A = this chain, B = another copy of it.
């Protein structure tokens, strides 16, 4: 693959904050960006040269997008895999490819992929009917987490089952959709890694972040996570296996449970830039967004060394109303997503920005 020349146009499917930050990184490298998404005046469109406002199954719009862009990527994993196939059919170069999407969009395929490559996961069972669920509970035990196989993020589409008599309500809460029952991991910490792979197979990882979730939504990431250096050999082994197994081109995030013995279970693969990698914007010279652009553009991978320990805190819902006060904090940088806030104020739990606080700097 020839490296994309300056001034080339990179397309991004999806118009949210990840598309916005990808777009800003692409511009910094001298590319133009075209956003494809459903909303006018979206976070990503506000900072991009071009925007096509359309649904993901609008073939005429996809054709225009394919013609406009030299390479196309995406900012979220729930873009229909068929949409990528359509773009490829129109002659577009797409990275990452549809295969990575197919595997990671389906929690059963994802865990099957991990196990098939010798990567540990929690025990799990497929749930297609209420009978399946009862059987799964007998095998997995309780408490266990029932999740839809597809879609679902930030704690949506999942419900804990603590007692057998909660099974029916849980099944109904997910609308009887194809699901997965996952055993509870007895973990001591949750960590994640941002990994990247270029067209030429070269790959890199960033230092590990430690994550804290509140009500299923990421609240903070601390990175490089104290004491996590010992995990890097395992993490690098898993990350390279995943990247190669998916023939991946671009950045992905992998979330892990760390068991008390120091072993890792893969929790989830996000085939895109990831909220747990936002710390790289102010802890590294090449952040995850620029890294992803480098990968899809066929440019050399960037430096992943951290020059500071960063605590990233998501600004959810009403947190954003403190933006002005947060901006006055020294040793920190505020990132706001440009989402419109209605007259009724910010919706609880909605990701509206984040702040990176530098906790300590290192000599280079």
Interface-forming stretch among A27-35, A95-103, A170-178? A27-35
A33 to chain B, nearest CB (A): 8
Query: Is there an interface contact between B334 and A29, defined as CB atoms closer than 8 Å?
Result: yes
Q: Which residues of B contact A349 (CB under 8 A)?
A: none
Query: Is there an interface contact between A47 and B30, defined as CB atoms closer than 8 Å?
Result: no
Which residues 281-304 of A sit at the B interface, judged by CB distance below 8 A? 282, 285-286, 294, 299-300, 302-303
Interface-forming stretch among A138-146, A147-155, A208-216, A356-364? A356-364
A285 to chain B, nearest CB (A): 5
A22 to chain B, nearest CB (A): 12
Q: Which residues of B contact A341 (CB under 8 A)?
A: 6-7
Residue A93 at the chain B interface, CB threshold 8 Å: no
Give the number of times this chain occurs in the complex, counting copies: 2
Residue A219 at the chain B interface, CB threshold 8 Å: no
Query: Is there an interface contact between B331 and A364, defined as CB atoms closer than 8 Å?
Result: yes
Q: Which residues of B contact A327 (CB under 8 A)?
A: 29, 294, 299-300, 302
A326 to chain B, nearest CB (A): 10
Residue A78 at the chain B interface, CB threshold 8 Å: no
Bound-state Cα–Cα, A336 to B30, Å: 5
Q: Which residues of B contact A47 (CB under 8 A)?
A: 23-24, 27, 47-49
A97 to chain B, nearest CB (A): 23
Number of interface residues of A (CB under 8 A): 53
With contacts A303-B331, A358-B364 taken as known, whether A337 is within 8 angstroms of B30 at the C-beta atoms is yes
**Among candidates B41, B286, B333, residue contacting A286 with C-beta atoms closer than 8 Å:** B333
**Among candidates B41, B299, B300, B331, residue contacting A49 with C-beta atoms closer than 8 Å:** B41
Which residues 27-64 of A sit at the B interface, judged by CB distance below 8 A? 27-32, 41, 45-49
Q: Which residues of B contact A48 (CB under 8 A)?
A: 46-47
Residue A260 at the chain B interface, CB threshold 8 Å: no
The 13 sampled A-B contact pairs (Cβ below 8 Å) are A6-B341, A7-B340, A24-B28, A24-B47, A27-B338, A28-B334, A30-B336, A300-B328, A302-B327, A305-B330, A360-B363, A361-B362, A361-B364
